[in-house]
Amino acid sequence: MASFMQSLLLRSGVCLRQSVRPSVCLNNISRAVTKAPPIIKRRMHRIPSIPLISRSTLPFYGTSHSLRNYTTKKSMEAPPSIAIIGGGPSGLVLARLLEVNGITDYIVFERDQSSFPDPNQQGGTLDLHTESGQEALKRAGLFDKFSNELARWDAACLHVLNSDGETIANMSDVGNRPEIDRLQLRHLLLESIPQHKIRWGHCVKSIERKEGDEQPMKNNGCTIHFTNGSSATGFQLIVGADGVWSKVRPLLTPTRPVYSGKLYIEGKISHNNPSYSVAHELVGPGNMLVLGNHKMMAVQQLSDGHYRVYFGLAEPEDFYQRKISIDTDPTEATEAMRSRLLSNDFFAHWAPRVKGFIKNAEGPFRPWPLYFIDPETVGWDRCVAPGVTLLGDAAHASTPFVGEGVNCSMYDAVMLAESLVSHCGRNITLDNVDDIKLEAALAAYEKDMFTRGKDLIQRSTESGKMLFSSNASSHILGLLNDDAENEPAGLENHGKV
């Protein structure tokens, strides 16, 4: 959702540029912007979004081949000249868009072993924005199925509470940013890609690049080494869609993600959980955000009705590891962390019905330290690594505090595919494309992507500062109180901090 969260910062003196075309945000708040009256738009552009988990480990279909010169299931099909590393939404969207434009000489290398990850690693729910995530699905020919079968149009609501359990504001069901589970989005995209184009169990260990005279003609000189012992080479283009800890990024830039000073502990509330009825009452089909004294809690409902809960802390990077030994049994680790969260140092003084989410959340708890790339280091010279580029978090990892990660990553894929088609053509193989045209396509894509990525990182960083401040709920209440005499339907201000 393009972001109720980011907009709060408008009134607090933070410059939030809207230079990015994707109005990308992760939660349900700012969906209201699309169809709401002007007064709602002004308010909703001041409130931050619920930060939710963003993963880039989506699995793929296909058998286990690794070398470029393998024989595909379609014997007449050329060996791949494009390697897409990583199976997040951006990698899958790019694969699908290449497919529909007749650029079929690609292969996706995915580290997961199957399309069904560990149930505790499936991620949360995403809202897809009109100009970015939804646009990607439209270009991929998948929007109708998404809209008619998978989109949860009724989940566009957010409830904001303070640590006393008092409601600050309710945002009702408005806007055009429906929710979809990350797992559902993955399968929607997977079903649109030929199964033999996916290489399961291919986790990248390293990428070696030959330099100078050793670099072969008509390929980028890179050999991809996988942890399963195999390798692949001979590609014209390698696209890193492999997330925050990208193994492709070092080919282009030495920059590395840095810890934001904030982390989340993730749990679950299932249908038979003692707190389920409270979640159903407070959260309903959408999202809830609870703010208080440098801490926060986010709750979201998924398509099967269960809830994901995230306990946000401003603590050192190794907070979880310092409290829980790596050898500790998962059940024991969850209980130890639960006790820690309920201590006086953290949530002990929060309202009982809110604190109940911590008492009853099901494990195993999962720590999620939040990282970002310094916006000043986003970017590289095109000549550094010809035939190599990045998408999404691999290029511009950010914290999730304006919720634009997935939408922005999908939009990156749209723009890269568009640039490749514009410069190289449709129904082609890159082996037959002049290197100058390929480099021009990558340069055109990266120019706008760098601007988009830097902007996202900066806005998310500022939003995170506000959300974890000592008076975050006061900030929200103050902004909602503006123009109170014109209070619109669909936005209830309860006047409590």
43-55 pLDDT per residue, tens: 334 444 544 433 3
- The reported pLDDT for the residue numbered 118 is 62
Range in 115-124, 198-207, 294-303, 398-407 with the lowest mean pLDDT? 115-124
What are residue 372's DSSP bridge partners? 258
Residue 265 has pLDDT above 80, yes or no: yes
CA angle 491, 495, 497 (to 5 degrees): 115
Range of the domain at 174: 79-482
Average pLDDT over residues 243-261: 98
How far apart (Å, rounded) are the C-alpha atoms in residues 119 and 372?
26
Per-residue pLDDT at 5 = 46
pLDDT for residue 41 is more than 60: no
% of the chain exceeding 70 in pLDDT: 77
Q: Is 149 exposed, middle or buried (0-12, 13-18, 19+ CB in 10 A)?
A: exposed
Secondary structure class of 387 (helix, strand, coil)? coil
Q: In what order do the strands lie in the sheet with 82-85?
A: 198-199, 106-109, 82-85, 237-240, 388-390
Where do runs of H (alpha helix) occur along 397-492?
Answer: 405-424, 435-467, 472-481
Instruction: Report the pLDDT averaged over residues 90-108.
Output: 98
What pLDDT band is residue 314 in, cutting at 50, 70 and 90? very high
Q: How confident is the model at residue 191 (pLDDT cuts 50, 70, 90)?
A: very high
Report yes or no on 228 lying in a domain: yes
In a domain, 430, yes or no: yes
CATH number of the domain within which 150 lies: 3.50.50.60
Confidence of residue 19 (pLDDT cuts 50, 70, 90): very low
pLDDT at 483 over 60: no
Helices vs. strands in the chain: H and E counts, helices first: 15, 18
Length of the chain: 497
pLDDT of 21: 32
Closest CA to 472 of 114, 168, 150: 168
Q: How many CB atoms lie within 10 A of CB 138?
A: 15
Is 80 exceeded by the pLDDT of residue 250?
yes
Q: Spell out the SS3 assignment of 7-29.
A: HHHHHCCCCCCCCCCCCCCCCCH
What is residue 438's three-state secondary structure? helix
Residue type, 467: L
Residue 238 pLDDT: 98
The verdict on residue 65 lying in a domain is no
Chain centroid offset of residue 5 CA: 16
Query: Exposed e or buried b for every residue in 375-410, given b needs 16+ CB within 10 A?
Result: beebbbeeeebbbbbbbbbbbbbbbbbbbbbbbbbb
pLDDT greater than 50 at residue 63: no
401: in domain:
yes
Residue 470 lies in a domain: yes
- What's the chain's Rg over C-alpha atoms? 23
Q: What is the pLDDT of residue 57?
A: 30
Let me know if residue 69 belongs to a domain.
no
DSSP reduced 3-state for 260: strand
Flag whether 53 is in a domain: no
Beta-carbon count within 10 A of 81 CB: 25
Segment among 152-161, 257-266, 459-468 with least mean pLDDT: 152-161
For residue 104, which amino acid is it?
T
pLDDT of residue 122: 66
Burial class (CB in 10 A: 0-12, 13-18, 19+), 323: middle
C-alpha count within 13 angstroms, C-beta hemisphere, residue 473? 25
Query: What's the total number of domains in the chain?
Result: 1
Chain centroid to Cα 92, Å, comes to 13
**Matching residue, tokens 């995209």:** 189
Q: Is 26 within 8 Å of 49 (Cβ atoms)?
A: yes
Higher pLDDT, 467 or 71: 467
Look at residue 32 and tell me whether its pLDDT is greater than 70: no
What is the pLDDT confidence band of residue 12, given thresholds at 50, 70 and 90? very low
pLDDT confidence of residue 472: 87
φ/ψ bin of 387: left (φ > 0), alpha (ψ from -120 to 50), beta (otherwise): left
In a domain, 460, yes or no: yes
Q: What's the pLDDT at 429?
A: 93
Other residues' Cβ atoms within 10 Å of the Cβ of residue 86:
30
* Rounded CA separation 323/336 (Å): 8
**What average pLDDT does the chain have?**
82
**pLDDT tens for each residue of 346-388:** 999 999 999 999 999 999 999 999 999 999 999 999 999 999 9
Over residues 385-400, the mean pLDDT reads 97
CA-CA distance, 249 to 339, in Å (whole number)? 39
289 by DSSP, 3-state: which? strand
Token pair belonging to 230? 């195999």
Q: What is the pLDDT of residue 479?
A: 62
- Name the more confident of 311 and 488: 311
Separation in Å, CA 137 to CA 34, 130, 131, 154, 395: 19, 10, 10, 20, 22
